[in-house]
Amino acid sequence: MFNYSGRLFTFGCSFTSYNWPTWADILGRKFSYYENWGSPKAGNQWIFNSLVECVLKNDITSSDTVMIMWTGTNRVDAYLNKKWVHSGNLVNLKNDELFDKNYIKKFFDHRGFLIRDLASITAAMHFLESKKIPYHFLALSSFDELLKWGDDNIISPELSDVYELYQQTIKKINPGVFEVIYNSEWLSRLPRPNLKKITEKHIENYIKKESTIIRYNQIKGCDWPSFNDYCLGKFENCTALIKKELKEYKSAEQKYIKKIKDGFNKGINSAVGMSATVHGDFHPTPSEALEYLNKTFPTWEIDDETKKWVDDYTTKILGDDFLEVLQTWKTSNVNLKDRL
């Protein structure tokens, strides 16, 4: 199904690039080369622009694979001061410097945004096919669901002409995560990872793991006390010079700990502000992302090592080790500074 000897390039929003491994990262492990061009809060306009830029920069060919998870249609991407900014879901915004209530009132139109994005997806489809590049279209939520009245499965009269015009494009998009994993109900999958449950005690415990005997022994001088004696404050037999070195070490260690704490707090505040709800974070866990891949591509096979890797990450983000993942996880994102 996939040419693993070739390169994989993935595109999307936070369901593609997030605080822990996504469907893209799981699939990318099997390819000889992998780049994740996803970005949190991104809309379909930015995803389309990223695709074109990536294809041209990397000379993507028929031996490579492109995977795009299209996002919701109620998003805006703007290029300001030599960088892209994203609105995220406009309907959920409360206080935003750029996309405030006045912007939404003046410019948001569900039908118009749907037309805009389906045109971009159609252009992406023809662009890839003209270059004979293998591709798969995924979705955060199925596009035909956006064209229906509530739950009664009837196409909205206001959108039926859009559906008819773009039906060939919509057919190219695989069922969305919302339908496949969450059965069209976010609360169907509980419990969720929840950053709000992280306390100062969790942070302290993680820092203790980082500031261990290994770190002490890497830094200490040859005449320093043992790590155990250092922790107990047994410095009686130390010279004045060693006591001075220990004092400097303690000061440096406190700065190191503060740096870790500041990093955690910044990351937690950013992530909580982006996705926290009463029930937690509804971005798919690694296990749910794997489930989505298995259901979308039934013939795709996963090796035991990757399965264990997915399970381990899922266990961490549902437990106290969530902090470790937040601090250390990095996808294969290309540097945003290197992009147009």
Average pLDDT over residues 34-43: 94
**Which contacts of 249-256 are long-range, i.e. CB under 8 A and separated by 24 or more positions?**
249/219, 249/220, 253/211, 256/211
Q: What does the DSSP assignment read for 276-311?
A: --SS---SPPHHHHHHHHHHHSTT----HHHHHHHH
- With cut-offs at 50, 70 and 90, classify the pLDDT of residue 334: confident
Amino acid (one-letter) located at 133: I
| Token pair 């410097």 in the structure block, residue | 97
pLDDT at 150: 40
| Token pair 């690039």 in the structure block, residue | 17
Q: Return mean pLDDT, the chain.
A: 84
What six digits make up the tokens of 245? Answer: 């070195």
Average pLDDT over residues 236-264: 78
| Token pair 């045109």 in the structure block, residue | 119
pLDDT at 149: 42
pLDDT at 314: 96
pLDDT tens-digit map of 51-64: 999 999 999 999 99
Average pLDDT over residues 294-314: 95
Contact 316, 256 (CB under 8 A): no
Core vs surface per residue 263-294: b (16+ CB within 10 A) or e: ebeeebeebeebbbeeebbbbbbbbbbbbbbe
Average pLDDT over residues 290-314: 95
pLDDT tens-digit map of 197-236: 666 666 666 666 666 666 677 777 778 888 778 777 888 7
pLDDT tens-digit map of 1-11: 799 999 999 99
Q: What is the distance, to the nearest Å, from the Cα of residue 314 to the centroid of all Cα atoms in its chain? A: 14
CA pair distance 70, 72, nearest whole angstrom: 7
CA pair distance 308, 232, nearest whole angstrom: 40
CA pair distance 26, 223, nearest whole angstrom: 48
Contact 178, 189 (CB under 8 A): no
pLDDT at 264: 61
What six digits make up the tokens of 191? Answer: 């419990």
Average pLDDT over residues 248-267: 71
pLDDT at 151: 42
- With cut-offs at 50, 70 and 90, classify the pLDDT of residue 173: very high
CA pair distance 219, 230, nearest whole angstrom: 13
Instruction: From residue 82, give the alpha-carbon distance in Å to each of 73, 135, 334, 336, 337.
Output: 24, 29, 17, 11, 9
Q: CA angle at residue 180 from 175 to 186, to 5 degrees? A: 120
